[in-house]
Amino acid sequence: MLDAKLVRGSTDEIAEKLLVKQFKLDVTRIQALEGRRKEIQVKTQQLQNERKVGSKRFGQLKAAGEDIAPLKAEMDRLGEELKVSEELLGQVQNELNEILMQVPNVPDGSVPAGESEDDNVEVRRWGTPVEFGFEPRDHVTLGELNGELDFETGAKLAGARFSVMKGKIARLHRAITQFMIDTHVNEHGYEEIYVPYLVNADSLRGTGQLPKFEKDLFKIEREDQSDLYLIPTAEVPVTNVVRDSIVEDAEMPLSYVCHSPCFRSEAGSYGRDVRGMIRQHQFDKVEMVHVVRPDESWETLEKLTAHAEAILQKLELPYRVVTLCGGDLGFSAAKTYDIEVWLPGQQKYREISSCSNMTDFQARRMMARWRNPESGKPELVHTLNGSGLAVGRTMVAIMENYQDERGRIRVPEVLVPYMGGITEI
């Protein structure tokens, strides 16, 4: 959520910056509400002052034994008028807050202009795509060849966009997850964390999924209890660990890594990536989350991205890094790097990680703060997150990049110990 004072004081400037995200701020409505808010606030303060003066006068008259009935009647009238004014002020402030809850984070000045993923800007590449002496198969065909990646049974059990893994493929999926967690904990200094896969609405509001993106979530309605939602990413529960809290400076920065399943309705992806594991309703991801001091967040974004890249480098998978343009930038993000891995079966780079700096946008919604030792006062933290990596897409990349002409899949060297010595699938 944007700073309400900043929006009120620089409405036109904020509106211009948000156009980079293809978002049109309703300046007229905000300015009208802000004018109304100021008017009511001035009246409320006047009534409060009148009541304060009257209360003092009331005590003096009573102590002097004088008739207090006329003043009491006036005080009662002031009290009723003040109550109405405070309620009106609350209504206007709530309306302004509801508008702000729908407004995305302001993009950083380094974010390139553009309308879609076609306008993202490549930053760097690593590795060279493999040149096969045969036409490479995609992961669906490879899975069908060995019979251990089964989309038909997944559809029977739950419907489209689900899969079943068996045997060595299932073990490979597990091995990738463990390898990622171990790397981030042992080499990158993250603390492993395990969180609920169901969260309440407050958690989703905190990270920005609600209210705007409710249709993308799987909701569980409960009688006589608050509704719960299946997490779309571990970013939600992990980031909300610091909701409504003040982190002491000695504990900062916080760096968490979490493996979890993710559940997404893919409401806006009809007809896209219907084949295979690229866009599923249920998938696994290893998520990295940072909670940092404000002056550390941009350096942390670079480190976070490098940590995700390190996984692909160890797996020897070619990839590229792109900076998302404004039109492709997420709701809560001020800047995002996407890491795209090379998939021979599609002959293109596909997203495998998004690493984002949310600045204080999520923190303001969550009231997540740290105690600044210089002032001794609580200040908003900055939050960042990134996939390190999406497990299913990593497995897809391994299957397609490590295949041979017979459809066999070589296990990357770093994963062999996690596979119990198995070198081929």
Q: Within this chain, do residues 53 and 140 fall inside the same structural domain, yes or no?
A: no
Is the separation of the CB atoms in 161 and 263 below 8 Å?
no
Is the separation of the CB atoms in 142 and 409 below 8 Å?
yes
Q: Within this chain, do residues 276 and 330 fall inside the same structural domain, yes or no?
A: yes
Nearest-5° Cα angle at 251, 245 to 256: 80
Q: Within this chain, do residues 121 and 75 fall inside the same structural domain, yes or no?
A: no
Residue percentage of the chain with pLDDT more than 70: 99
User: Would you say 245 is a known binding-site residue?
Assistant: no
Active site residue 8: no
Q: Which position among 137, 255, 393, 400 bears the catalytic label?
A: 393
Q: Specify the amino acid at residue 25.
A: L
Active site residue 245: no
**Distance from chain centroid for Cα 216:** 13
Q: Is the pLDDT of residue 84 over 80?
A: yes
Half-sphere exposure of 65 (CA within 13 A, CB side): 0
What's the CA gap between 50 and 85, in Å, rounded?
14
Q: How many domains does the structure of the chain reveal?
A: 2
What's the CA gap between 91 and 85, in Å, rounded?
10
DSSP 268: T
Q: Which residues of 283-294 are buried (b: 16+ CB within 10 A; e: fewer)?
A: bbbbbbbbbbbe
- Which domain CATH number covers 49? 1.10.287.40
Active site residue 393: yes
Q: What is the pLDDT of residue 258?
A: 98
Quick one: average pLDDT of 362-366?
A: 98
- Which of 209, 125, 132 lies closest to 404, judged by CA? 132
Q: Count H helices and E strands in the chain, helices first.
A: 12, 16
pLDDT classification of 70: cutoffs 50, 70, 90: confident
The 10s digit of each residue's pLDDT in 269-327 is 666 777 899 999 999 999 999 999 999 999 999 999 999 999 999 999 999 999 999 99
DSSP 406: T
Q: Is the pLDDT of residue 240 over 90?
A: yes
User: Would you say 66 is a known binding-site residue?
Assistant: no
Q: Which position among 36, 57, 174, 279 bears the catalytic label?
A: 279
Is the separation of the CB atoms in 384 and 238 below 8 Å?
no
User: Would you say 359 is a known binding-site residue?
Assistant: no
User: Would you say 287 is a known binding-site residue?
Assistant: yes
Q: Is the pLDDT of residue 343 over 90?
A: yes
Give the number of other Cβ atoms within 10 Å of residue 163's Cβ. 23
Q: Which residues contact 408 (CB under 8 A, 6 or more apart)?
A: 424, 425
Q: Is the pLDDT of residue 204 over 90?
A: yes
Name the residue range of residue 65's domain: 2-99
Q: Which position among 163, 332, 354, 356 bears the catalytic label?
A: 354
- Which domain CATH number covers 344? 3.30.930.10
Q: Is the pLDDT of residue 69 over 70?
A: yes
Q: Are strands 282-292 and 382-390 parallel, antiparallel or unpaired?
A: antiparallel
Active site residue 364: no
- Expressed in angstroms, the distance from the first to the final Cα of the chain is 48
User: Would you say 153 is a known binding-site residue?
Assistant: no
User: Would you say 385 is a known binding-site residue?
Assistant: yes
What's the CA gap between 357 and 334, in Å, rounded?
6
Q: Within this chain, do residues 124 and 82 fall inside the same structural domain, yes or no?
A: no
Q: Which position among 351, 371, 379, 410 bears the catalytic label?
A: 351
| Domain contains 423 | no
Q: Within this chain, do residues 182 and 225 fall inside the same structural domain, yes or no?
A: yes
Nearest-5° Cα angle at 165, 401 to 310: 40
Q: Within this chain, do residues 287 and 245 fall inside the same structural domain, yes or no?
A: yes
Q: Which position among 171, 264, 364, 369 bears the catalytic label?
A: 264
Q: Within this chain, do residues 81 and 136 fall inside the same structural domain, yes or no?
A: no
Helix (H) or strand (E) holding 390: strand 382-390
Which residue, chain included where needed, has tokens 């995700």? 308
| Domain contains 107 | no
Provide the β-strand partners of residue 177. Answer: none
Q: Are strands 254-263 and 282-292 parallel, antiparallel or unpaired?
A: antiparallel
Q: Within this chain, do residues 245 and 215 fall inside the same structural domain, yes or no?
A: yes
Alpha-carbon distance values, 107 to 1, 327, 351 (Å) = 13, 10, 21
Helix (H) or strand (E) holding 205: helix 201-207
Q: Specify the amino acid at residue 361.
A: F
| Phi and psi, residue 294, nearest 5° | -55, -35
Q: Within this chain, do residues 83 and 143 fall inside the same structural domain, yes or no?
A: no
The 10s digit of each residue's pLDDT in 91-146 is 999 999 999 999 999 999 999 999 999 999 999 999 999 999 999 999 999 999 99
SS3 content of the chain, % helix, strand, coil (to 5): 45, 20, 35
Q: Within this chain, do residues 48 and 129 fall inside the same structural domain, yes or no?
A: no
| Phi and psi, residue 250, nearest 5° | -65, -25
| Domain contains 133 | yes
Residue where one domain finishes, among candidates 72, 99, 126? 99
Q: What is the pLDDT of residue 176?
A: 98
Q: What is the pLDDT of residue 64?
A: 83
Is the separation of the CB atoms in 181 and 193 below 8 Å?
no
Half-sphere exposure of 43 (CA within 13 A, CB side): 17
Residue where one domain finishes, among candidates 49, 69, 99? 99
Active site residue 161: no
The answer to whether the predicted template modeling score (pTM) of the entire model surpasses 0.85 is: yes
Q: Within this chain, do residues 303 and 190 fall inside the same structural domain, yes or no?
A: yes
User: Would you say 233 is a known binding-site residue?
Assistant: yes
User: Would you say 163 is a known binding-site residue?
Assistant: no
| Domain contains 82 | yes
Give the sheet arrangement for strand 198-200, strand by strand. 198-200, 228-230, 219-220
| Domain contains 422 | no
The answer, yes or no, to whether the previous bond of 253 is cis (omega within 30 of 0) is yes
Mean of all residue pLDDT scores within the chain: 95
What's the CA gap between 151 and 148, in Å, rounded?
10
Q: Is the pLDDT of residue 59 over 90?
A: no
What's the CA gap between 256 and 291, in Å, rounded?
9
Q: Within this chain, do residues 222 and 371 fall inside the same structural domain, yes or no?
A: yes
Is the separation of the CB atoms in 418 and 178 below 8 Å?
yes
Residue where one domain finishes, among candidates 99, 128, 144? 99
Which residue, chain included where needed, has tokens 């920005």? 208
